[in-house]
Amino acid sequence: MLNILGSPKRLCDGVTRREMIQAGTSAVLGLGMADLIHSTASASGGARPRNFGKAKNVMVLYLYGAMSQIDTLDPKPDAPPEIRGPFGTVATKLPGVRLGEHLPRLAERLDRVTLVRSMNHPEPIHNVANTVTGISRTDVAMELNQRDPRHWPFFGSVIDYLETTQAGRAGNPLIPRNVIIPWRQSATAPDKRAGFFGGFLGSRYDPTPLEFRGKGTVENCVEKFNPYCGINPHDTYNFPATAIGPQMTIDRFNTRRSLLEQLNDQQRYLGGTATGPLQAFDELQQIGMNLCDSASLPAALNLDRESAKLRDRYGHHLFGQSALLGRRLIEAGSRVVSVLWDEFAANNSAWDTHNNQTRRLGRELCPGLDQTVSALLDDLEQRGLLDETLVVCLTEHGRTPQAEGKGDGRNHWSGVYSIMLAGAGVARGNIVGSSDRQGAFVKTRPVNPKDILRTIYHLLGVDVERSVPDRQGRPMPLVDGGNLVPEILA
């Protein structure tokens, strides 16, 4: 299966009841509710803040598990030892701004990015869905159920939906619009976390997973042979459902395509109408067939077309090579590419540093992040892509100011944490907000995940006041709460 995967009273999205009734009639004439809501929002909107629609595409670098703000993007060198931790700091291109000592390359490029040091929210759980979807609140049950009916769609899924429906047809791009690398979220972890899925838009709008096919090469990782520590340069990625095996010749493939088309034509002749899940399946089937027959996709997936020097620069580990592949997909036409630093094989892995924090941050996590993000920024800028590509480095919360008990680790903490943005429409060399002296709470300019989502939609040129339909066809806002953060904008 391919986972491309009578009263004028106004409703919460600004559409009147009369317009709701008109929408039912309009649907018969080919005008859907989404079109009506879009036109209403556009007509009522005034002048937009700067850089609306500046980004043609977006790369999401997601650090699952919650990165420690104190050891990375918001160090506290003057705090007591039990708070500042075992690491030193390094000066950056911005006067008076320091980063954790294991991010020296990023420090040299901090004049190209915006740091938000005042992120906060009330839920210190692995609520990826709260970070990347418009829902206002999540809980542990939702966190551990990817198909909980309460889930809202990942913002990349919303972009895919809007571009599909605005085209007036299902659309069959040869390069999927919404891609996730190196696998579907939590595919290799014991617990299956939620977040990067289609939510109430349905699985039709799940991000298309690009699956890494290879094994880790470093034995002395905390998680032995974890591919985020190192992989073989010849390891590959593919779309498993679109790879044509050696037994499938071009003639056989074309014969099966012809037979499928005849069966579909016969269904239409007999009066069959595909609705709901069947229609979604037909759309996926057509996209899958096009991908199988496309020369664009294999070319985009072929990392051997990149120089050995550039591949070395990104790092021969899973995060580095996935980010390089993400850049290739952006060039090939993908709209939203999400690169996960995900759990591997065990819980409390990735950036969930309850234990072995000193070793993991110092030897595995921070060096890999530093290498990859700096290479990506350089690469995008040299190719002229940084001005049109939004790069967002996200994590779901922070870590406690003090160590967890007597162990070497920090616990979950959402009182304050840090994220990073760069590229299209984003201010360069910018610090938004601050934390207190101990890195525990917001000191100035609080920002929450809904604010960031609204800002992402703004930069992608999406009217955040519009709506999308849920499973019952009811109009739902793209983001429940939040405000645009103008300080992020260039």
Question: Pairing relation of β-strands 430-432 and 113-119?
Answer: parallel
Alpha helices in 346-415 (DSSP H): 357-359, 366-382
Q: Residues 409-436: pLDDT tens digits?
A: 999 999 999 999 999 999 999 999 999 9
Residues 137, 154: one domain?
yes
- Percent pLDDT > 70 in the chain is 77
Task: Categorize the per-residue pLDDT at 395 as very low, low, confident or very high, splitting at 50, 70 and 90.
Answer: very high
Q: Residues 216-267: pLDDT tens digits?
A: 999 999 889 999 999 999 999 986 544 555 565 556 656 655 665 565 665 5
Alpha helices in 29-172 (DSSP H): 33-44, 81-84, 104-107, 128-132, 140-143, 155-166
- Predicted confidence (pLDDT) at residue 35 exceeds the cutoff of 50: no
Residues 321, 408: one domain?
yes
Task: Categorize the per-residue pLDDT at 453 as very low, low, confident or very high, splitting at 50, 70 and 90.
Answer: very high
- Once rounded to an integer, what is the mean pLDDT over residues 485-490? 98
Q: Residues 334-349: pLDDT tens digits?
A: 999 999 999 999 888 9
Residues 37, 76: one domain?
no
| Residue range(s) defining the domain that contains residue 263 | 51-488
**Residue 1 confidence (pLDDT):** 30
Closest CA to 61 of 451, 431, 401, 377: 377
- Predicted confidence (pLDDT) at residue 32 exceeds the cutoff of 90: no
**Residue 250 confidence (pLDDT):** 53
Task: Categorize the per-residue pLDDT at 49 as very low, low, confident or very high, splitting at 50, 70 and 90.
Answer: confident
- Predicted confidence (pLDDT) at residue 454 exceeds the cutoff of 90: yes
Task: Categorize the per-residue pLDDT at 17 as very low, low, confident or very high, splitting at 50, 70 and 90.
Answer: very low
Residues 321, 424: one domain?
yes
Q: Residues 261-297: pLDDT tens digits?
A: 565 665 555 555 444 445 555 555 555 656 566 667 7
- Once rounded to an integer, what is the mean pLDDT over residues 351-363? 95
Residues 249, 340: one domain?
yes
Residues 93, 224: one domain?
yes
Residue 118 forms part of a structural domain: yes
Q: Which helix (H) or strand (E) holds 422?
A: strand 417-423
Specify the higher pLDDT residue, 38 or 51. Answer: 51
**Residue 299 confidence (pLDDT):** 84
Residues 42, 55: one domain?
no
Where is average pLDDT lowest: 39-53, 301-315, 383-397? 39-53
Q: Mean pLDDT in the chain?
A: 85
Assign residue 244 a region (left: φ > 0; alpha: ψ between -120 and 50; beta: otherwise): beta
Residue 1 forms part of a structural domain: no
Residues 31, 91: one domain?
no
Residue 261 forms part of a structural domain: yes
Q: Residues 73-124: pLDDT tens digits?
A: 999 999 999 999 999 999 999 999 999 999 999 999 999 999 999 999 999 9
Identity of the residue numbered 213: R
Q: What's the structural domain count of the chain?
A: 2
Residues 117, 178: one domain?
yes
Give the domain CATH number at 317: 3.40.720.10
Identity of the residue numbered 279: Q
Task: Categorize the per-residue pLDDT at 3 as very low, low, confident or very high, splitting at 50, 70 and 90.
Answer: very low
Residues 40, 58: one domain?
no
**Residue 295 confidence (pLDDT):** 65
Residues 140, 21: one domain?
no
Q: Residues 298-345: pLDDT tens digits?
A: 788 899 999 999 999 999 999 999 999 999 999 999 999 999 999 999
Residues 148, 22: one domain?
no
**Contact indicator for 223, 215 with CB cutoff of 8 Å:** no
Token pair for 139: 């809980």
Q: Residues 117-165: pLDDT tens digits?
A: 999 999 999 999 999 999 999 999 999 999 999 999 999 999 999 998 8
Residue 268 forms part of a structural domain: yes
